[in-house]
Structure 1
Amino acid sequence: MFKKSIILKILIIVQIVLFQSVQAQSLKHPVIWVTEDEREAILDKIENYDWAKSVVNQLHERVDPALKIHETNPNAILNTIPDFAKHDRENSEQKASPLAAKHNKVLALASEAGMLYYLTQQEKYAQFAADILGYYVDVIAPKTPQTTTICGYEFFDPRTTYGPFALTYDFIYNYVKQPNATVYNKEKGVRIPFNNAKAQKAIANIVGNVLQEYGKPDKHGKTISNHPILTASGALFSILCVDDDFERNRLFHVFWEEGTAHQNSFKNTILPMFGEQGIWPESLSYSFMSIITLTLNIVDRVYPEMNVTKDYQHIFNGNFLFDYLRYPNRKFVRYGDSKRNNDSTEDLYRYTLSIAERRDYTDLKQKSQIALRQAYDTKGGYQPELDDNIFNNFQPLDLFWGQPVPEKIEGGINFNKPTVIIKHAGVALQRNFVEKDNEIYGLCGIIGGAHYVHSHVTGIAMELYGAGYVMGPNAGLPATVAERKIPLHENYFRLYAGNNTVVVNGTSHGLDEGSWKGGAYVWQNTTVNIASEPKHLEDPISENFSFATQFLKDEVNNCDQERTLSTIRTSDKTAYYFDMFRSKSLDENKFHDYIYHNIGDETIIKNEKGQVLSLTETNSYKTDIGDLVQSPGWRYFENTQVTKPTKEAVKVTFKIAYNDKYMHMFVPKGVERAYTKALTPPTREAENGYVTKKTQLLAIRQNGEAWDTPFVTVFEPSTKSESSVQSIEPLMDGAKIVGAKVVSKVEALTITDYIISQDKSNAVYINKALKLNFEGRFAIVRVEESKGKKTTSLYIGEGKKINFEDHSLESDSQNKAFKSF
């Protein structure tokens, strides 16, 4: 073992030496974001483009007033620097955050002054930045890597303070290396020579503190959280400030190849977690991870011979997947601990465009330009803004890496594809887009669930958009870090009952073992897509129909579940969702509960005759299984009122009083069920004040299994109190429910849809009364009648052939087909 260790160390040293042989023996500063050779091109950009001028003007607005004060009273700005923590585990996240914000404000001021020095070559900016830098050098240099810290929380400094420290040094390096360079010493009240050796010691401490080579080694190939990505800039920026060539390249080798338990290998641990889809496998708002593209760009600029951009094209292409996950109002779908209002796509596109321009990646360049143009046009132009977000010290890259985007670009990206599959999250998206007023009349929903970092335990959850709102929301993430630890989040939003799903036998839960967070009990199996039309990001065969089916082999709760979501359009202004949820316990099937949340002010439950069903109070949902998180989480249901069990068809209307929008929900007759309406905690990130109002809830309880007699529901979001959907009936195959007949009335047109959704791809359905035969999983027969005229359409989403009356249709080689008669 000892000999192997010696040999390994020798090989690493040889590799570093060989690596250095193709490198210049010293880096020229600045180097992290830009080089001196790029300055003229950046000045031309500022001269020719208003957006570039705007960034420079904002830099002046942020720096110049402080600089003016500093020139007459150097202590004024330095006195705003708060105390330093004693070590990097001194503070909790909550205590470290305000301290980091105060330090970041001063260090960002220094780095921005350094940027202005680079742009203007005026030494007053360099001197201002150097005076702030010198103060931090004096404090940090005497420490060791183990004791180095600023805010006292090892996860915060590399994200908030170490980055601007390194950028400041990088931008003013040539100024402070002058023989006569001085910095103001606050303690002595005089100017003293800048001590670069001391600065190098401080940088070594910072790098050592981030890498933590004194800790455990990295284990390549393991699954990790996003922490070493978020801290990567603090490590890489600082490494590039190390003067000694051998040490700098050794440290870069640790950062890139070797890694540590704290700062995992970028190449061998972090990047392999990007699957074939090229996105970071977490909840959506955690998945952007623009620091990945930023880091790859910097590494490629400094070490071009490594050619890293060639090896990770799937990640750059994955950057464009997020725009396919927007609702018609451009907010994002939400699964797991996610925020639908977070949006880092433009950073991803700008960083990717910078790479594409330099490396002449024509396809990536066109995609980036198209995506940016569409984003800019949506917002009325490109207007970059600098702010004080302590976790985003990269905003000036809009200037340094930003590229002009043509007003008109050949080609385009259609982000309105009907089907999007996110494999790691087990999520399938279904969308139906309309050209006019899509924000009001477009449909978009998701179904799915899986275990991943920042996941919830939901089974196959559903989220639905309609009429300008995310009407049926998944739980998402609270506004503050502190709220993530309260029972409301851990015992409700994170669990089944906080999402739109089906609970089996009242006991659906997750496991603690294997969970990304200890004590969360959120481990579940991954839902997989078993069928869809169209396939992922492909074009549909019909503008009116699409579907996706997700399957979950739930080994935690020993049950099988399958959910099909279809978007079905009946006119430019009317459409509905078809949702079929099959579920069965592989043990005893006691009962199943279909859980659905809808924002709004009122829930009205009627029978097929239009009569409001009477309700009585119930305590059926005041139970849990006795685990630490009170699974399945429905103790948070309030004012629970239940109907008598009924086999009748039921219509439920959720009313949004703010601007008279509605969700009409239909359940066919045939299976005895009890309907409970309740109130639940307010929906996170809801629009128009519903973020503070209780959310409406409907729970449907069905005794026994729900596989042969699945939950079948139709949802029609609408601007009208009366739905276009008139009725829904089950399609039966003996005692088995295989779909629904949905009748809609759109002005003078009566539309009857026969929706067949079977649980096998080779299943056969024969309905002699309707003269309907179908072999396959999913199909729709549409009959439109108006003024004595009749049109029939046949759609095979997955199957072999379908016959209806005197019409027939066979599928193509991909088992899909569409035809109107």
Structure 2
Amino acid sequence: MIHSLLKIFKAFVLINLILMSSTYAQSLKHPVIWVTEEEREGILENIEKYDWAKDILDQLHERVDSKLKLHLKDPNVILNTIPDFAKHDRENSEQKAGPLAAGHNKVLALASEAGMLYYLTQDETYAQFAADILGYYIDVLAPKTPQTTTICGYEFFDPRTTYGPFALTYDFIYNYLKQPNATVFNKQKGIRVPFDNAKAQKAMANVAGNVLQEYGKPDQHGKTISNHPILTASGALFSILCIENDAERNRLFHVFWEKGTAHQNSFKNTILPMFGEQGIWPESTSYSFMPIITMTLNIVDRVYPEMDVTKDYQHILYGNFLFDYLRHPNRKFVRFGDSKRNNDGTEDLYRYTLSIAERRGYSDLKLKAQMALKQAYEAKGGYKPKLDDGIFNNFQPLDLFWGQPIPDKIEKGINFNKPTVLVKHAGIALQRNLTETANELYGLTGIIGGAHYVHSHLTGISMELYGAGYIMAPNAGLPTSVKERQIPLHENYFRLYAGNNTVIVNGTSHGLDEGSWKGDAYVWQNTTKNIAAEPKHLEDPVSENFSFATQFLEDEVNHCNQQRTLSIIRTGEKSAYYLDVFRSKSLGENKFHDYIYHNIGDETIIKNEKGNTLNLKQTDRYKNDIGDPVQSPGWRYFENTQVTEPIKEGVKVTFKINFDKGYMHMFVPKGVTRAYTKGLTPATREAENGYVNKKTQLIAIRQTGEAWDKPFISIFEPSLNSESSIQSVESLMDGDKIVGAKVISKVEKITITDYIISQDISNATYQNKALNLSFEGRFAIVRVEASKGEKKVSLYIGDGKKLNFEGFKLESNHQNKGFKVF
């Protein structure tokens, strides 16, 4: 009995000793956030062996050494450049906080980079330089509370700009600071004073507490959030990992990872669940990269390997590769929602993924990341890392600390040029057809779709087209500055229907404010869904010349249904065209439909099918709105609008690009009475060759009544020639219903006739006795190539069962697709 009690007592004492150790001891070794001391040797080997690693080290020296020399002569020189501090974290607006954050970030980044050089060189001069800057900030931040802690006066900026390098500096020079004789320069006293680590810990706790805001409202796990807590995550995590007290550090990490707050939502239970099956952050193109997610997973996995956090998030790591499928032939990204074409986070995603895969032994991910990086480097002429002064989440030195050599030879690559790519949360379907000859000029890429998500626009089923070296028909995108996002031009035009290439129903297409990602934006809409495509998402095509995708929108806001089919049809190495079939019908009264199309350029010419230029007269039919706060549908911004008389003839529209003599040839077949308006709209964002400063060309086509059985059919051929290779376009009819188009092209000495059948349901049937043509299904193409009395027939089924033409027959496979040449 006594023996048992003694064992219990000893166990009780042991447990208490462990608890006391956990409460008061510092078990985490520094540095820890990005690297450990054990990894230093491997990094130095990379510097010795590889130019890219040595180059980053050289850049660190270039950025730090000259400032260090000034500091050694007079510590006040650098410390005098530190701006004033704000009084609290909601003192400044985004615009006012920006310059202040930039000023502080410049000094703190210098300190953190000096800390990195101390880690790499073990030269204590760098550590002392970093410590002197750090000490200045500690003196300001330590007396505060989490509620009053701030640097730039804006709670959304400090965690993204200043808190990160503050924590990194402490982490890199921690062992130097813990020496008994460590000192820092006190600017106020003008002398060196002993480094006060207790004060440093208080400052770090204030920083972590300010980001987490435990004093605010609790998190609601599973709610839909914006990207804000991702962007601020590094400011929280870095500072938490600098807390010495094991119990408090683990408690704060639990808040960061598991519990969350309304300001810094739980990474595990709120942020990560928002990633859908495709593994990408569900926002607009350039907002979706979110390399901080993969970086955070990597850091947490390194510090807490027992959690094995990457195991359950493989879909996110594989999702990192989706973005490279979303490039136009000029390598600019397609644009949907608030997005910029030139923002590119792919390489960071691949490097972070490679770091995880290498450590965890994910062989497939490792190979894929290596292949993707190799292709990225080759596309831009090699890997030439460049450190810059960007203030937001600037983690470029990670290229050195996590960077790994890529094998000179990798057996295979990744084909990022798949014909069909779907982005489900955005309702987007991409179509692509590239060429081996001058692909930037002759390759085509287009997207159709629309949905509501954070940073979405209200577009219905919008379209963007590339050709002849330009994004010819652009989606609206994002302005250059934050300030411009609030002006009416963005909120009342670019963000709405009229600022995009879409169809407006009864002049009243609009969105809802309730549920919108931004207050008073009125951009909520239903999600467009893919209902058919050949090839399917990331699959190989059955034909190198044909592909299609069909998107459907059940628009509950505007009480209408819309369906859009985009097909790319190649006729030669240097010639191809788009087929756009847009069906739309109100479920109430069908007054009229407007097909809106923007094209960059200098001139728009409208001719009838006989080649005669149509007469135009001024019109104010688009100088109106529905009276909501954002002036939906947004077409008040159309300028100099001139309209034709309603005509039933076929129409050819030519958009001229004078800079390098490019053209977009647009054909609309005859058979439906329509009025054509040409005009100008605000300049296209991110357009090249000066078109960013020129008004964008506009065509608006008004059709009375429904546009479902009589859909808008447009053929677009981008070209370097003033004359199109397309000779004629006419509708394919099934009684009074339009089911496709006949397109005749002349390419070199070959006459190509394409009979394109695009029906609204998958089990439709079509018979044309005059052509001896029949089809069961949604989408098919019959191609007849004639030259010198010889004829070649190609039959393509994109979605269907049987296709017959002049005795030639094709039956689809089990996936309802097929292709055969006769």
What TM bracket, shorter-length normalisation? over 0.9
Mapped partners of 1:536, 1:581: distance in 2: 21
Match of 2:589?
A: 588
C-alpha distance in 2 between matches for 1:661 and 1:378: 25
The residue type equivalent to 1:756 in the other structure is: I
Report the RMSD for the aligned CA atoms in angstroms: 1.2
Tell me the distance in 1 between the aligned counterparts of 2:394 and 2:481. 20
Deviation at 1:392, TM superposition (A): 3.3
Q: Detail structure 1 runs of 4+ shifted over 6 Å in the superposition.
A: 20-24
CA 1:22 to 1:797, structure 2 compared with 1: closer, same or farther past 3 Å?
farther
Q: How does 1:33-72 map to 2 (within 5 A)?
A: 33-72=34-73
Contact 1:164 1:393 in 2 (8 A): no
Is 1:645 the counterpart of 2:660 in the alignment? no
The alignment partner of 2:370 has SS state of: helix
The Cα shift of 1:393 comes to 2.3
Say if 2:617 is the partner of 1:616. yes
SS in 2 for 1:675: strand
Three-state SS of the structure 2 residue aligned to 1:164 is helix
CA contact (8 A) 2:492 2:632 kept: yes
Residue-by-residue CA offset, 1:269-308 (whole Å, 9 max, x unaligned): 0000000000000000000000000000000000001111
Mapped to 1, the partners of 2:359 and 2:657 lie a distance apart of 51
Q: Distance in 1 between matches of 2:345 and 2:25?
A: 35
State whether residues 599 and 690 of structure 1, in contact with CA within 8 Å, keep that contact through their aligned partners in structure 2: yes
Distance in 2 between residues matched to 1:661 and 1:346, nearest whole Å: 33
Report if the CA contact (8 A) 2:150-2:158 is conserved: yes
Distance 1:721 1:758 in 2: 32
Corresponding residue for 1:606? 607
Cα distance between partner residues in 2 of 1:367 and 1:85: 46
Aligned to 1:394: 395
Q: Tell me by how many angstroms 1:436 deviates.
A: 2.0
Matched-pair contact (CA < 8 Å) for 2:756–2:780: yes
Give the AA of the match of 2:467. Answer: G
Paired with 1:608 and 1:387, the residues of 2 have a C-alpha distance of 55
* SS of aligned partner of 2:425: coil
Structure 1 CA distance, aligned partners of 2:66 and 2:724? 60
Deviation at 1:25, TM superposition (A): 5.8
The equivalent of 1:79 in structure 2 is: 80
CA distance in 2, matches of 1:740, 1:43: 64
Matched, 1:372 2:379: no
**Preserved CA contact (<8 Å) 1:760 1:776:** yes
TM normalised by structure 1 equals 0.97
In structure 2, C-alpha distance between the alignment counterparts of 1:740 and 1:247, rounded to whole Å: 69
The amino acid of 2:500's aligned partner reads N
Confirm whether residue 421 of structure 1 aligns to residue 428 of structure 2: no
- 1:653-664, aligned counterparts within 5 Å? 653-664=654-665
2:682 is matched with which residue? 681
Whole-angstrom distance in 1 between the partners of 2:156 and 2:629: 28
> Deviation string for 1:202-231 (max 9, x for gaps)?
000000000000011000000000000000
Deviation at 1:357, TM superposition (A): 1.0
Match of 2:810 in 1: 809
Residue in structure 2 matched with residue 92 of structure 1 by the alignment:
93
Question: CA contact under 8 A between 2:473 and 2:598: conserved in structure 1?
Answer: yes
Match of 1:150 in 2: 151
Which whole-Å deviations, capped at 9, do the CAs of 1:434-461 have from their partners, x for residues lacking one?
Answer: 1221111001000000000000000000
Q: What one-letter code is carried by the residue in structure 2 that aligns with 1:230?
A: L
Q: Tell me the residue number matched to 1:5.
A: none
Question: Partner amino acid for 1:165?
Answer: F
Q: What's the counterpart of residue 722 of structure 2?
A: 721
**Contact 1:108 1:393 survives alignment (8 Å):** no
In structure 1, the partner of 2:568 is 567
Correspondence 1:226 to 2:227: yes
Shift of 1:407: 2.3
* Residue in structure 2 matched with residue 630 of structure 1 by the alignment: 631
The question of whether the paired residues in 2 share the 8 Å contact of 1:778 and 1:797 is answered with: yes
Tell me, what secondary structure is at the counterpart of 1:522? coil
What does residue range 376-525 of structure 1 map to in structure 2 within 5 Å? Answer: 376-525=377-526
SS at match of 1:314: helix
Determine the C-alpha separation between the residues in 2 that align with 1:410 and 1:279: 28
SS at match of 1:312: helix
Q: Shift in Å at residue 311 of structure 1?
A: 1.1
Give the Cα separation in 2 of the matches to 1:465 and 1:288. Answer: 22
- Tell me the alpha carbon deviations over residues 163-213 of structure 1, each in whole angstroms, 9 at most, x when there is no partner: 000000000000000000000000000000000000000000000000000
Q: Which residue of 1 aligns with 2:669?
A: 668
Amino acid at match of 1:595: I
For residues 784-795 of structure 1, the aligned pairs below 5 Å read: 784-795=785-796
8 A Cα contact 2:375 2:413, kept in partner: no
Matched pairs, number = 805
* Paired residue secondary structure (1:348): helix
* Matches of 1:632 and 1:53, distance apart in 2: 55
SS state at 2:159 partner? helix
Q: Is 1:697 aligned to residue 698 of structure 2? A: yes
1:25–1:191 CA distance, 2 compared to 1 (3 A): closer
For 1:570, what is the secondary structure of its paired residue?
strand
Separation of aligned partners in 2, 1:509 and 1:72? 64
Q: Is the 8 A contact 1:285 1:340 kept in 2?
A: yes
* 8 Å Cα contact 2:23/2:246 also seen in 1: no
Instruction: With the length of structure 2 as denominator, give the TM-score of the two structures.
Output: 0.97
The residue number in structure 2 matching 1:268 is 269
CA distance in 2, matches of 1:718, 1:206: 57
CA distance in 2, matches of 1:398, 1:311: 26
Aligned amino acid, residue 484 of structure 1:
R
- Report SS of the residue matched to 1:183: strand
Could you say which residue in structure 1 is the equivalent of 2:287?
286
Query: The residue matched to 2:55 in structure 1 has which SS?
Result: helix
CA drift at 1:359: 1.0
Quick one: which amino acid aligns to residue 67 of structure 2? A
> What does residue 5 of structure 2 align with?
none
SS of 1:167's partner is: helix
